[in-house]
Amino acid sequence: MTITGADRKRPGDRTHYLYLAVIVAVVAGITLGLAAPDVAVELKPVGTGFVNLIKMMISPVIFCTIVLGIGSVTKAAKVGRVGGLALGYFLVMSTVALGIGLVVGNLLDPGSGLHLTQALAKSGHAQATAGHAQGTADFLLGIIPTTMVSALTEGKVLQTLLVALLAGFALQAMGPAGAPVLRGVEHLQRLVFRIMSMIMWAAPIGAFGAMAAVVGATGTAALKSLAVIMVGFYLTCGLFVIVVLGLLLRLVAGVNVFSLLRYLGREFLLILSTSSSESALPRLIAKMEHLGVSRPVVGITVPTGYSFNLDGTAIYLTMASIFISEAMDKPMSLGQQLSLLVFMVIASKGAAGVTGAGLATLAGGLQSHKPELVDGVGLIVGIDRFMSEARALTNFAGNAVATVLIGHWTKELDHDRLHQVLAGRAPFDETTLVDAGHSETVPAQPDAPSLEKTPA
């Protein structure tokens, strides 16, 4: 399989224009907020309208990704030890990343002092939040929907999650008979994500309205808080890759993480230009085989990791949730943060590389735990595009490290080959993605899974 220059350029072309449009909209919103704060605050409904479009997609996104995610687990488990080990590793590392995001978010305290709820009250947008206490029994009974369909139409995220889990496990139990239904859900997911992509083209308008309203109400305090969370997020992602993944890679496989990152330098540049780790998927598969990992391990670990090993996204979701809760003067308790962590672990699976899916997952988590915080997603829209590169780069680095580690654990990694490649003595052929030489070193098994289908 060969990637031409046109193929490399195509995936990021339109997204690049959207990225530039969001930047222009954010700058325009900040300018208006500083120059005419009274006018800017009245634009709050513009940002709210965009958030409502995102909220509209929460239930279908969660339903499709969870049902197909369980189907992916089933397929991965059939390949035996490699699939089970990969899934266990992905679950642990995603949880670690979420935990790190919670710790850093609480230490930075980026949203404190903004008082967005009071500052924006004069924009005429009041939250309808009924304030009676809810007992444990009422909460648990509230998770059960009136009907399976009502879970998808009433916007109750936990009800949607319950129905999706039941549907996924039922399809798993049906075996081959459930395959047509899974294919139908897959087509439905494509439709949902296409609608989400269309909605994301309204992101510049939403970012303009939200940023203008916030800056108009709080002045430069909002800019300082946004700068804190952005810098904190980038530093957290960097420390996670270098310290957590780097230490694990050194202790387990004896590999220097900087050598591995240097080997994947071209892929990182490709991701940086497209803001999506999906664009480098074929090259990662080829380069991991060239590095000395057997083809079956690469074929299982890399595609599965693109749906289940989203370290950068995990850090982003938790830090953004804490930022929003503090900015709106509605901080979450430790128990709420931990339950939100559990929700994010489940709900973020299966939506890698999909524009807007991260925002939908963030909104879904807030909707399920503290609905009054969902409007704060409009503030994150303004800086989401600036943080997407760090998310994509961290996700990609996490999957590369995972492939090496799982290859080592399953004894499907040629260490001599790995050290030769990282030392530059066996350079990768950039003219083709087919690495014919490596298959002679570590023979591929005939039952290796097909790689023709990559995650959405």
Which CATH number fits the domain that encloses residue 39? 1.10.3860
Query: Does 382 reside within a domain?
Result: yes
- For tokens 């395959």, the residue is 179
Q: Is 254 left (phi over 0), alpha (psi -120 to 50) or beta?
A: left
Nearest to 322 by CA among 145, 104, 115, 147: 104
Distance CA(135)–CA(146), nearest Å, equals: 19
Distance CA(16)–CA(14), nearest Å, equals: 5
HSE-up of residue 378 (Cα within 13 Å, Cβ side): 32
Instruction: Report phi then psi at 293, rounded to 5.
Output: -85, 135
Output the pTM of the full model: 0.67
Distance CA(219)–CA(213), nearest Å, equals: 10
Nearest to 356 by CA among 8, 53, 45: 53
Query: Does 453 reside within a domain?
Result: no
Q: Is 442 left (phi over 0), alpha (psi -120 to 50) or beta?
A: beta
Nearest to 453 by CA among 306, 313, 312: 306
Contact 442, 412 (CB under 8 A): yes
Would you tell me how many other CB atoms lie within 10 Å of the CB of residue 253?
18
Residue 413's DSSP bridge partners are 293
HSE-up of residue 42 (Cα within 13 Å, Cβ side): 3
Structural domain range at position 340 = 15-124+135-441
Q: Where are the alpha helices (DSSP H) in 79-144?
A: 81-108, 116-119, 136-142
Distance CA(263)–CA(237), nearest Å, equals: 19
Distance CA(362)–CA(341), nearest Å, equals: 11
Query: Does 162 reside within a domain?
Result: yes
Query: Does 393 reside within a domain?
Result: yes
Query: Does 446 reside within a domain?
Result: no
Query: What pLDDT does residue 246 have?
Result: 95
Query: Does 240 reside within a domain?
Result: yes
From first to last of the 456 residues of the chain, give the pLDDT tens digit: 334 444 444 444 455 677 678 788 888 888 888 888 888 888 878 877 877 787 787 778 778 877 876 766 555 554 567 778 888 898 889 888 888 888 888 887 766 665 665 555 444 333 333 333 445 576 677 778 888 888 777 767 678 878 888 888 888 888 788 888 888 988 888 888 788 778 878 878 888 887 788 777 777 776 777 788 888 899 999 999 999 999 999 999 999 999 999 999 888 877 775 556 766 777 888 899 899 998 888 877 887 787 778 888 888 888 888 888 887 777 777 777 788 777 777 766 555 545 456 677 777 777 777 777 777 777 776 677 667 778 888 989 999 999 999 999 988 899 999 999 998 888 887 655 544 444 434 333 333 333 333 333
Query: What pLDDT does residue 120 have?
Result: 54
Query: What pLDDT does residue 11 have?
Result: 43
Distance CA(450)–CA(94), nearest Å, equals: 25
Query: What pLDDT does residue 6 have?
Result: 40
Query: What pLDDT does residue 173 have?
Result: 81
Distance CA(363)–CA(237), nearest Å, equals: 22
Give, as one character, the DSSP assignment of residue 350. T
HSE-up of residue 60 (Cα within 13 Å, Cβ side): 18
**CB neighbour list of residue 224: distance below 8 Å, 6 or more residues apart:** none
Distance CA(281)–CA(82), nearest Å, equals: 19
Contact 151, 162 (CB under 8 A): yes
- For tokens 């059939």, the residue is 78
Residue 310's DSSP bridge partners are none
Report the number of distinct structural domains present in the chain.
Answer: 1
Query: Does 86 reside within a domain?
Result: yes
Query: Does 1 reside within a domain?
Result: no
Tokens of 341: 């962590």
Contact 268, 6 (CB under 8 A): no
Would you tell me how many other CB atoms lie within 10 Å of the CB of residue 441?
16
Q: How far is the first Cα of the chain from the last one, in angstroms, to the nearest whole number?
A: 19
Nearest to 26 by CA among 231, 203, 274, 232: 203
